[in-house]
Every structure is written in C-alpha cells, then in structure tokens.
Amino acid sequence: MTQTTRRPTLFLALVPVIFLTSLISINVFIFGDDSLLGSNQIVLILSAAVASVVAIRLGHRWTDLRAGIVKSIGSAMTAILILLLIGSLAGTWLLGGIVPAMIYYGLQILNPTIFLVAACIVSAVVSLATGSSWSTVATLGVALLGIGRALGMPDGVIGGAIISGAYFGDKMSPLSDTTNLAPAMAGTDLFTHIKYMAWTTIPSISIALIIFLIMGLRTYSGNVYSDITPVLDAISGTFNISPFLFIVPALVIFLIIRKVPALPALFFGTLAGAVSALIFQPQIIQQVSGMDDRFHVAAYIAIMKSMYADISVNTNHEMVNSLLETGGMRGMLNTVWLIICAMIFGGVMESSGLLHRITESVIKLAHNTGSLVASTAGTCIFFNVTASDQYLSIVVPGRMFADTYRERLLKPQNLSRTLEDSGTVTSVLVPWNTCGATQASVLGVPTLVFLPYCFFNIISPFMTILFAYLNIRISRYKSPEEAKKDVSLKV
C-alpha cells in the first residue's frame, strides 16, 4: 500500500522544538550545572517522543522514524570514537607531563607591563592545552582575577580578558568537546574544522588582544611575577619539565599536516603520551598508580587508568591541583550520551520532515551565502538564550542547516565554523545559560559586568558573518554531484 503523509504546518513542526527549549529551561533552573549530567539528555529523548507523535499523526510510520534514528546515530559514530580517544589522549598527556609543560611555559608569558593581554594569552594557552574553558576559568582564571584586582583593574575588564582567552583556547583545542561536537553535527572532520575555523578565529582574537593591550597599558600598575612563582614552582617541583615534551604534540601536528585521518593521529598521540610518561615522569606514574615498587606493574596501572578513568596529580598548590585532573574516556561519556540523544531527536525531526519544514521557513529569509550564515548564527544565539545550553545551540542548528549548506554547494566546514563562532562563544554571555551562570559564579563577577569586555566572544559571530558576505574563505563544491559523493568523516 502507498503511504501518504501530510505536510506539517510551521507551528506543528515547531512543537517539538518549543517542548525541548521549555524543558531545558526548567532543567537549568532546577538542576543548574548538573543539567548536563543526564536531565538534558532525557529531555532530548522526550522531545524525540513528542516529535514522533507529531510525525505519526502526519502519517509517518514508526519503522521509518526508527530507521532515521539509526541513520542519524550512525552518522555521529566517528565523532564519538574521536571523543573517546581524546579522553584517553588527555589522560596520557597529563601523565607524561605534556599538559603541565604547556601550562608552565604559558604562564611565563605573563608580563607585568601588559597584564590584560598576558592574562588573555595565558588563559588561551591553558585552555588550548586542557580543552576546557570551564576548568581554566575556575582555576587559573580565579588566580588571574586576584592579580588583576591587586593591580587596581576593574573586575569586568579582567573577567573579559580571562574569558576571551579561555574560550579561544577551548574553541581551537582538539581536546574540547564542543570542538568535536560542531563538525559532527555539520558533517565534516575535526582537523578540517579547526583549520578552517582559524581563518575567522585568529582575526577575532587579534582584535581582542589589541583592545586589551590599549586598555592594559593605560591602567597597569604593580608587579605580578611574585604571584605566579608558587604556581611555577609547584609544577616544576612535581613534573620533570622540559622542552623535549613538546616533541609529542609536534609529531601529532605533523601527522595532521600530512593528512593522516583523525583517529590514527589521536591514537598515536595517546601512545606517545604514554611513552613520554615512562621516560620523563616515573614519579608521576608511581603517584597515580599508588605503588612505589615493581615499576613495570605501576606503569601498566597508571597508563591504563590515564586512558579510561579519572586521574589527578597532587602538588603543594591547590589551584595547580585543580588544573591537573582528567577524566579519560570515562570523562567523555556524558558528551557521548548527549550526542546519541541529540541524534535520536535529530533523526526523528529529519526523517519526518519536521526539520525540513522549519529550515525551509528560515531559508526563505536567506537569499545568499551571507544571509544564510547570518541566519545560522542568529539561530545558534537564539538557542543559547532560550535553551540555556551551548551544546544544544550547536546540535539543533547543526541538524537544521546541514542539508541546506550542501544543497547550496557549501562544504560542511562552513557550517561547523559558524556553529562554533556563534554557538560556543556566546553561551557565556547569557546570564541564565549554564556557561554564563557558571563563569559568573566561579569568578564572583556578574555576567553583565564582564559581558562588555568579552571582546573575542562578541566579535566572533560578526567575523564569521563578515567573511560570508565578503566571500572570504568560503569553501564550495564544484557541482551537486560532488556534494552528494562527499563523505567528509573519514576514520
């Protein structure tokens, strides 16, 4: 029998999205930061159920919806594997002293004559090394805020410099969950996404640094070196810090330049980090394993734990201890769970035509590449404000616009870049968003106080829109046939 389905009205297509944003808002109000630990995932599943009911009422069969869910999850499997490998890489790079070395040398950039610029750069380096803006702000950021206050600088300006740097590093780090989530939603690979994103991100941070330089030179007073000496001593007193530790990230970068696929490159980086631990950090291996004898057994335990479990390295400095923590593969499971649930929701919305109906209405307003990118950026910011979650500001627009970009012969890295330029970085500017609320609480500075000085976060969405309108670095397919044949996610 021929299956007949009805075309949904725009309101009907928006019902699951309205349900999603409403429940997410309730979640954030009730659970706060803990909403990321499972309640948001459940809301995505409930929203998928609502979308399924709407779709079935329109004449769609459950078997077709289920097939759409399976297909949607399958499209994200490479991203999930990469996330798990990044968890293990972060663990061995901590164990091997690579991340501590990045933090150690990064802190020495802190020049007392250009404090705001230095604070931004140091936050960027640490966030780039750890892949987490949250941990950078909560640890190093708090210390930098204290230094800035001692210099007599306003809290909002200091907070803006710290957050600008932290979100730049988070955005560009292959260890960041959002940096992996965006290409997964758009349909491109991690390293293509990072390289393409650099074209808009580096000008944005450069403009921000120039502004901070001008502000800092006008407001500076005092000396800050004594404040970071205990931090440097704690790191160097615990780890064997050496420039040779940068051989491992250099080799991974070399593999990426040689176009080695992400999974083999990250797996090599994970193993190289373990070798670095064996050569440079035997004392850390003993600390993590809890064994002082039988080094071969201690090494096996420590390396395995660094790959799959929570590990931490203790120093004589509490703030440094907070930086030297990682969750291994296990630490990525909440994000993996979120991706799977998002793919369930996206699979139903896509296979039922509801997503197409919403996108169709938005696309009518986008007559060229510039307006399409602007519509995408606006949608990401809309979800940051309404859904109060940066992950959903990437996931939902990513699913909404992926097909449209391909239909207009725009390669998926255009979409992934826009998702990060507008979704990731603006989340911290919304007081009721989980990011904005968390950073305000951690720093003790209200969101609306540091918001005017988060120059990088403010500039980024405008930069990506400007590039689109001026047709700068817009990667295109040569033909519709090439777009159909393209399989960007290579394992």
Characterise 9 by phi-psi region: left (phi > 0), alpha (psi -120 to 50), beta (else). Answer: beta
Cα–Cα distance for residue pair 233/316, rounded to 1 Å: 9
Q: Using H for helix, E for strand and C for coil, what is the string for the chain?
A: CCCCCCCCCHHHHHHHHHHHHHHHHHHHHHHHHHHHHCHHHHHHHHHHHHHHHHHHHCCCCHHHHHHHHHHHHHHCHHHHHHHHHHHHHHHHHHHCCHHHHHHHHHHCCCCHHHHHHHHHHHHHHHHHHHCCHHHHHHHHHHHHHHHHHHCCCCHHHHHHHHHHHHHHHHHHCCCCHHHHHHHHHHCCCHHHHHHHHHHHHHHHHHHHHHHHHHHHHHHCCCCCHHHHHHHHHHHHHHCCCCHHHHHHHHHHHHHHHCCCCHHHHHHHHHHHHHHHHHHHCHHHHHHHHCCCCCHHHHHHHHHHHHHHCCEECCCCCHHHHHHCEECCHHHHHHHHHHHHHHHHHHHHHHHCCHHHHHHHHHHCCCCCHHHHHHHHHHHHHHHHHHCCCHHHHHHHHHHHHHHHHHHCCECHHHHHHHHHHHHHCCHHHCCCCHHHHHHHHHHCCCHHHHHHHCHHHHHHHHHHHHHHHCCCCCCECCCHHHHHHCCCCCC
List of residues 6+ apart from 362 with CB closer than 8 A: 375, 379, 400
Pick from 78, 79, 54, 55: nearest CA to 67? 55
Give yes or no for a contact between 120 and 165, defined as CB atoms under 8 angstroms apart.
Answer: yes
**Would you state the pLDDT for residue 141?**
81
Span 260-308, pLDDT tens digits: 777 888 899 899 999 999 999 999 999 999 888 888 899 999 999 999 9
**Would you state the pLDDT for residue 278?**
95
**Would you state the pLDDT for residue 488?**
43
**Confidence class for position 462, pLDDT limits 50, 70, 90:** very high
**Would you state the pLDDT for residue 453?**
96
**Confidence class for position 139, pLDDT limits 50, 70, 90:** low
The separation between CA 415 and the C-alpha centre of its own chain, rounded to angstroms, equals 15
Q: Judge if pTM exceeds 0.75.
A: no
Q: For 87-101, 270-284, 346-360, 366-380, which range has the lowest pLDDT when averaged over its residues? A: 346-360
Token pair, residue 128, equals: 């780039």
- Residue 430: phi and psi, rounded to 5, are -100, 115
Span 194-205, pLDDT tens digits: 999 999 999 999
Token pair, residue 118, equals: 């230095």
Span 73-130, pLDDT tens digits: 887 787 678 778 878 888 898 999 988 887 788 777 666 678 899 899 989 988 888 7
**Would you state the pLDDT for residue 282?**
94
| CA distances to 104, 127, 133, 459 from 206, in Å | 23, 17, 19, 10
Q: For 5-19, 381-395, 397-411, 458-472, which range has the lowest pLDDT when averaged over its residues? A: 381-395
Map out the domains of the chain as residue ranges: 10-74+332-485, 79-331
